[in-house]
Amino acid sequence: MKARVTIREVAKEADVSLGTASRAINRSGRVSEKAIIAVEKAARKLGYEPDAVARSMRTRSTRVVGILVSDLANPLYAAMITAAETAFQAAGYSLLVASTHNETKREKALIDLFRARRVDGLILGPCQTESMDVINRLMSDMPVVALDRDFGDSATGVHVDHYNGALEATRYLLDLGHRNIALMTPGSDLRPGRERIAGFSDAFKERGLEPASQLIRSAKSSMEFAFSDALSLLSGKDRPTAFLCLGTRILAGVLQALRHCGHQVPHETSVISIGDTDLSQLFTPSITALNWDLNIVGTVAAQLLLKQLDRETKSEPERIVITTRLMPRESCGPVQMPIRG
């Protein structure tokens, strides 16, 4: 809209050469104190702001990082993203965000877009393992940090320990006498889902039990879907006496279904939320939840990326594991013996 001031004009105003002005502004190379003062004064007078695009052109670095998630509004992502953004901001990086909406095609296109935009690095959330070729090519181009995704041993990433979380939560329910436990988590094709299913199953197995496979629901992350799915479970025979479910849309749907059926929590049905949000904490009864620190996940992801960005040389891949802990609240109780009627 308006012609912006270039470094050339600043140099002229300060009566030095363009090169000196550049060095003065970037404090690089040898510059006299006098030149620095003159240049700074001129820059201030003219309202000079360096052009990041032109600078990137030369330096090959945009100081922009990208982050790819399936849905920015998912509270389990949103908190992480904020934390990451804060860390990046402090380090002088800006954050480019994009939602894949769980579409593999869009995901590939967005990765290409990030590459075309020359982001310095990428935090990758919701990627299908199937696209390993895309990921590998990407990782050879720029530093990548995986968010709870398996991209092989050569990938750096931060991972929530969903396996042990699910194990602990399931043990807790088994201890309360529950046997018909429904596990509702999206994406058995993604790491979190796989890990949860494994932990869930192993908790049964270590007691010589077998989880009912029809109670492992690979739910879509949608409230409506979870609602109707829970409804059908509750109205069927051998209805679950406990739900272990992802604490976002799915928890919302399950709670709605329980309310709809008039089931008392925890009297008739127990509920554990995977992930601890406002909803789980404030719901009445408060919901026992698997908690992990979202801020830490985001901050660590940012730090891992920044570390790789600092060293030019590719550093060793790192895997940081974030542990979960079970927050016992009011939503779980001993199983009720079925009353035969």
User: Is 182 in contact with 245 (CB distance < 8 Å)?
Assistant: yes
Residue closer to DNA, measured from CB, 29 or 152: 29
Which partner from the list its own copies, DNA, none does 311 bind, CB cut-off 5 to 8 Å by kind? none
Phi, psi of 166 (to 5 degrees): -65, -40
Structure tokens at 278: 């406002």
Site for its own copies in 246-285 (CB under 8 A): 252, 255-256, 259, 278-279, 281-284
Our finding on whether 16 is near DNA (CB under 7 A) is yes
Contacts of 309 (CB under 8 A, 6+ apart): 65, 93, 120, 121, 143
Q: Which stretch binds DNA (CB under 7 A): 18-26, 96-104, 200-208, 219-227?
A: 18-26
45-82 core/surface letters (b: 16 or more CB in 10 A; e: else): ebebeeeeeeebeeeeebbbbbbbbbbeebbbbebbbe
Q: Tokens 């197995």 correspond to what residue?
A: 205
For the four alpha carbons of 231, 234, 236 and 240, in that order, the dihedral sign comes to positive
Our finding on whether 35 is near DNA (CB under 7 A) is yes
Closest CA to 333 of 281, 239, 273, 264: 264
Q: What string marks each residue from 51 to 80 as x (binds DNA by CB under 7 A) or -?
A: x--xx-xxx---------------------
Q: Which stretch binds its own copies (CB under 8 A): 30-38, 76-84, 199-207, 213-221?
A: 76-84
Residue 282: count other Cβ atoms within 10 Å of its Cβ: 9
Q: Please, what is the minimum distance in Å from the beta carbon of residue 197 to its own copies? A: 25
Alpha carbon 272 to its chain centroid, in Å, reads 21
Q: Which stretch binds DNA (CB under 7 A): 16-24, 96-104, 220-228, 306-314?
A: 16-24
Which partner from the list DNA, its own copies, none does 7 bind, CB cut-off 5 to 8 Å by kind? DNA
CA pair distance 300, 182, nearest whole angstrom: 32
Binding site for its own copies (CB under 8 A): 1-2, 49-54, 56-57, 62, 64, 71-73, 75, 78-79, 81-82, 85-86, 89, 94-99, 101, 110, 112-113, 115-118, 140-142, 252, 255-256, 259, 278-279, 281-284
Residues of this chain that interact with DNA (CB under 7 A) are 3-4, 6-8, 16-20, 22-23, 25-26, 28-35, 48, 50-51, 54-55, 57-59
